[in-house]
Structure 1
Amino acid sequence: MKTESRLRNNLREVRTRLGMSQQDVAALAGVTRQTISGVESDLYTPSAAVAMKIARALGCRVEDLFWFEEDAPEIEAAPARGAPAGSSLRVALGRVGGRWVAHPLIGDQAFRTEMIPADGVGTLAPGASSMRVRLLDDLETVTGTVILAGCSPATSLWVRAAQRWNPGLRVHWVFANSTAGLEALRRGEVHAAGVHLHDPDTGEHNVPFVRRALPDGTVVLVNLGTWEEGLLVQAGNPLSIRSAADLAARGVRIVNREPGAGSRGVLEHALRREGVPTAAVSGFDDVVTGHLEVAQAVASGRAHAGVSTAAVAAAYGLGFVPLLQVRYDIAIPKEYLDEAPVRQLLSMLNHRRFRAQLEALGGYDIRRTGDIVATVEPAAQG
């Protein structure tokens, strides 16, 4: 006998995004607050009438709030040329000439580099600390922008989902490693910064680095996910690289990340643990600035190895030698949490559609995604 499908919902996420309490939704829907609480906690399955009332109260469709766990639709699609057989693929779908076509999201096709439209133009005078900018967009549109620094490739999935689900939201992603992102946060240039820094002496993730970079204010750390960092190696691992110690072998050449990058710290710690001096590693000073650049260097044969994440290795079809699980957090000064665009962006971390994208990407532990994992208070005075 077929088991009954379980009705799931994302009522809490939608309600939170709209800044509404359970009582607010209950009053608009004409139901009790206990009904809303029961639905959110999966203790109560609403009738069709109640589901419609709740959806109407939130200004959305019933299917945007409720779905059956086993009711994911399927379609037939023709694979685009070059799609590899025999493995699970992330794809982009389009209806072309009356049929669905699936383009595999692998290698360079998994990422996009594009020209970013300007919000304005201006000139900074020599020695000046401010400048006049002529807007090229509406002031109201520009005002709803969150500026986010980070280096995780998954950031683009998060940003795209957030902007799609919140039509008035704009996110400008500034590419920066963890240390540079915290420095931009300290300078007041961004709302939030992605951080994946590990202290090998204490085993702590991110907190001591945030405390040092931002000693004067309260900073909240919201988890994006925990990822596996390690050595990207060529497909099939032809040089049999099994640990950081193997990077000192004759004929092995690496690329490295810039100082301040979390991945560089992972490599340096792994080499110290193995007793390998950095001078013994060919290419240690050959620096690239980004996870994708590491993957491209290894995939092209410019290097035999470099540190990045399991998700990036999978996207490029490379081998992966794990070194360390690292927590990737979003650092946000507490005062920014009251801003509606920031709340909208953060609420997307708990949205089922973004979490499904992160799971499909692979290499991420999402059990704490969207959780506040730490609150870093100002350093004690005296």
Structure 2
Amino acid sequence: MKRNIYIKNTPYEAAIETFIKKLNEYEYFNVTSEEIDLLNAYGRITSEPVIAKQSVPHYPASAMDGIAVKAESTIGAHENNPVNLDKDVDYILADTGDYIPPEYDSVIMVEDVNFYDDIAQIIKPAVPWQHIRSIGEDLVANELILPSFNILGAYEIASILSASIQAVNVVKKPIVAIIPTGTELIERGYEEIPPGKIVDTNSKMLAYLSQEWGAETIIHPIVPDNKELIEKAVLKSTEKADLVIVCSGSSAGREDYTSVIVEELGELIIHGVAIKPGKPAILGIIDKKPIIGVPGYPVSANLVFNLFAKPLIYKKQGLFTPTPPELESLVSKKIASNMGVDEFINVNIAKVGNSYIAYPLNRGAGITSSLVKSDGLMQIAKESEGVNPSTPMKISINRDKNSIDNTIVSIGSHDICMDILWDLLQKNHNIRLASTNVGSMAGVMALMRKETHMAGIHLLDEETGKYNVKFLDKYLKDTKFLLVNLVKREQGLIVKKNNPLNINSINDLQDKKIRFINRQRGSGTRILLDYLLKQNYIDSANINGYNREEYTHLSVAAAVKNDTCDVGMGIYASAKAFNLDFIPLAEENYDLCILSDLMNKHYLEYLLEAISSNEFKNRVNSFGGYGVDITGNIIYQNNNK
């Protein structure tokens, strides 16, 4: 079988335009409809105008509780000249919604009437047709209630129901078939996932997105990397579905068959789009139906699906694709990008002071968590080589703006206690805590540039053995801030369970057979390690793996657990989380430096309240390796501005 090694680089706009134009030739977007019971139509789309069968109301109806009267019988009523009305002659009782017979032409509210047996006494005359709903006040028979291609919500259904309509014609939901392919894929349900196997998540993610956009979905069982089996699944799916998605197999590897199958069974329109991530995207047509091949990495799959499947699903329902709201934000750091490629980057957004700032998330195509954390998508146009710090960019936001406004951002060192803090703030005050783990020094630099509300830091002053204050005095001397202790914590060496290599001290790291993993430059843990190496007269060049870096304590522990290294520097809680052994080396302060002037004062109160709470301290203590005796204390503050 011939392999398709070369992937084109078609511009995104040209790719979608070409694809839709080709589908129009096959009249693919012609809408089909079905009649359904109105009470089952919530969320559906009208396929034709909805016309009122009768007027609403269809009779003269009382708009108030009271009495129906002849207006002429009330003339002259006054406080000094009450008028008495006889029941069933001059008035009848009328409740809201009651039919008003033709001999009566007005309603007086019950609170304006005094009753004496069957006599109703009034002191104010009635005006003809007061408090009476006329026929067709809401809708007139044969009036348009809704046009075609209108989404039926709660109010729409109530209005249609009031006009005596029992069933409506709606757009038939498009059916999206999703075929997960890959010998490495498995379904959920494993206690421990075997090495080399991956739980299929893409098909579920794309199915839920399809349903969110109004489609029905069929998820095909996982198909291994076998051309004949994938081909069979594609043919079966085109019989049932309006749109077929093949998950993975879109690249040019030895087991990437999608483009070949599409070319053999139908028309391969596009293979390769000038986007990042998602370049290997496939757009084709089989049996007059679109086939989209999405890459296997989740972030790539999501982007390709949003860019190419979403407009098809909406257009198939007679709708325009919704345009997400935009929020102009300042980019927090320099981002390099390739000319000729439209790059899409997930970002966090927070309001710091008076500005919205966008913080790029991990750009890896396989980082599903970046989709969870994302507040919006930033597009760097193909004509650009990137953006500089503080450049204003329009971000297409995917999160409610109120949620963005209710965000505290922390840039700095990583600690799992920050997750507890986030949980408490979210639970008690609906405040998000968005953390970016870049290390203590990078956190101080972000504070200096006023790009964050706060930073987690643990910077050791080698001369005094104290933490943080010296660095803040140096870099934030003209900035108002609070330094609050979050926790004390044990730092040390994380080693495998039962310590098979008998690592007992920092001196053992000089053994070339021992594989070490370090934290990134500028992190407090790296500074502490270098201090300990200096104290013990150890040259870092003698440590196997000193230049290999991870960005969090949990990542270090995971590397030890997965045997990609033998030992790493980190905190006790991370070792415990992975059931590893721990050799303590030092106790340190992990503090939060807070720029109080840049944070909503109520949020600052809630933050300090959460840190000092018993719930926070108890949950921290459950991890082990932490001290909370000074948690919540203000260690230092600078009131200079």
TM-score by length of 2: 0.40
1:183-222 alignment runs, 5 A limit: 183-222=445-484
Indicate the residue corresponding to 1:310 in structure 2: 572
State the AA in 2 paired with 1:248. Answer: Q
Q: Which residue of 2 aligns with 1:22?
A: none
> Which is worse superposed, 143-152 or 120-129?
120-129
The answer for the alignment partner of 1:12 in structure 2 is none
Separation (CA, whole Å) in 2 of partners of 1:116 and 1:331: 27
Per the alignment, residue 155 of structure 1 pairs with 418
Q: Which residue in the other structure is 1:243 paired with?
A: 505
Could you tell me how far 1:121 is from its partner in structure 2? Answer: 3.9
Partner of 1:45: none
Corresponding residue for 1:254?
516
Distance 1:236 1:219, change over 3 A: same
Q: Which is higher, the Rg of structure 1 or of structure 2? A: 2
2:369 and 2:625 map into 1 onto residues whose CA distance is 22
Map of 1:225 onto structure 2: 487
Q: Does 1:346 align with 2:602?
A: no
Q: Distance in 1 between matches of 2:374 and 2:546?
A: 37
Find 2:375's aligned residue among 119, 124, 129. Answer: 119
Tell whether 2:619 aligns with 1:357: yes
Instruction: Report the TM-score, using the length of structure 1 for normalisation.
Output: 0.66
TM superposition shift of 1:352: 1.7
The Cα of 1:340 is off from its aligned counterpart by: 1.7
Are the counterparts in 2 of residues 198 and 265 from structure 1 also a CA contact under 8 Å?
A: yes
Query: For each residue in 1:214-239, what CA deviation from the matched residue of structure 2 results, as whole angstroms up to 9, or x when unmatched?
Result: 23212211111000101111111122
Alignment partners' CA distance in 2, 1:315 and 1:114: 22
Show the 5 A alignment for 1:159-174. 159-167=422-430, 169-174=431-436
The structure-2 alpha-carbon separation of the partners of 1:276 and 1:377, relative to structure 1 and needing over 3 Å to count, comes to farther
Q: Counterparts in 2 of 1:1-382, with a 5 A limit?
A: 113=369, 115-123=371-379, 129-150=391-412, 151-167=414-430, 169-336=431-598, 339-376=601-638, 378=640
Q: Offset of 1:134 from its aligned partner?
A: 4.0
Distance 2:539 2:408 in 1: 42
- SS at the partner of 1:340? helix
Structure 1, 314-323 or 341-350: larger mean CA deviation: 341-350
Deviates more, 1:174-183 or 1:209-218: 209-218
Q: Answer yes or no: is the 8 Å Cα contact 2:454–2:592 preserved in 1.
A: yes
Q: Distance in 2 between matches of 1:178 and 1:202?
A: 18
Unaligned runs of 5+ in 2: 1-189, 193-367
CA distance in 1, matches of 2:564, 2:426: 37
Q: CA deviation at 1:344?
A: 1.4
Taking the aligned partners of 2:528 and 2:625, their CA distance within structure 1 comes to 17
Residues 293 and 358 (structure 1), Cα distance of their counterparts in 2 relative to 1, 3 Å cut: same
Q: Residue 631 of structure 2 aligns to a residue in which SS?
A: coil
* 2:618 alignment partner AA: A
**Higher strand proportion:** 2
Question: For residues 327 and 230 of structure 1, what CA distance do their matches in structure 2 show?
Answer: 14
Q: Point out which structure has higher relative CO (alpha carbons under 8 A, 6+ apart).
A: 1
Q: Distance in 1 between matches of 2:529 and 2:616?
A: 30
Cα deviations by residue, 1:257-276 (Å, 9 ceiling, x for unpaired): 11101111111111111111
Structure 1 residue 193 displacement after superposition: 0.4
- 1:153-175 deviations in whole A, cap 9, x for unaligned? 221111112210113x2222222
SS in 2 for 1:131: strand
Q: Tell me: CA distance 1:115–1:138, structure 2 relative to 1, closer, same or farther (3 Å).
A: closer
Count residues in correspondence: 270
Give distance in 1, aligned partners of 2:543 and 2:392: 45
Q: Take 2:592 and 2:571, find their aligned partners in 1: how far apart are those partners?
A: 17
User: Match for residue 4 of structure 2?
Assistant: none
User: 1:99-141 CA deviation, whole Å, 9 max, x = no partner?
Assistant: xxxxxxxxxxxxx956325434444675672122344444333
Q: Contact 1:191 / 1:336 at 8 angstroms: preserved in 2?
A: yes
Sort the Cα spacing of 1:225 and 1:166 in 2 relative to 1 into closer, same or farther, 3 A.
Answer: same
Q: Distance in 2 between matches of 1:257 and 1:184?
A: 19
* Greater fraction helix: 1
CA contact (8 A) 1:124 1:130 kept: no
Over 3 Å counting, the alpha-carbon distance change for 1:117 and 1:198 in structure 2 is closer
Q: Residue 23 of structure 1 corresponds to which residue in structure 2?
A: none
Structure 1 residues 345, 307: CA separation in 2 closer, same or farther (over 3 Å shift)?
same
Counterpart contact for 1:145–1:341, Cα < 8 Å: no
Which ranges of structure 1 fall in alignment gaps of 5 or more residues? 1-79, 83-111
Displacement of 1:337:
5.7
CA 1:138–1:225: 2 relative to 1, 3 Å: same
Aligned partners of 2:496 and 2:560 also within 8 Å: yes
Distance (whole Å) between structure 2 residues aligned to residue 117 and residue 309 of structure 1: 25
Cα deviation for residue 294 of structure 1 reads 0.9
SS of 1:238 mapped into structure 2: coil
Letter in 1 for 2:540: T
Distance 2:374 2:490 in 1: 35
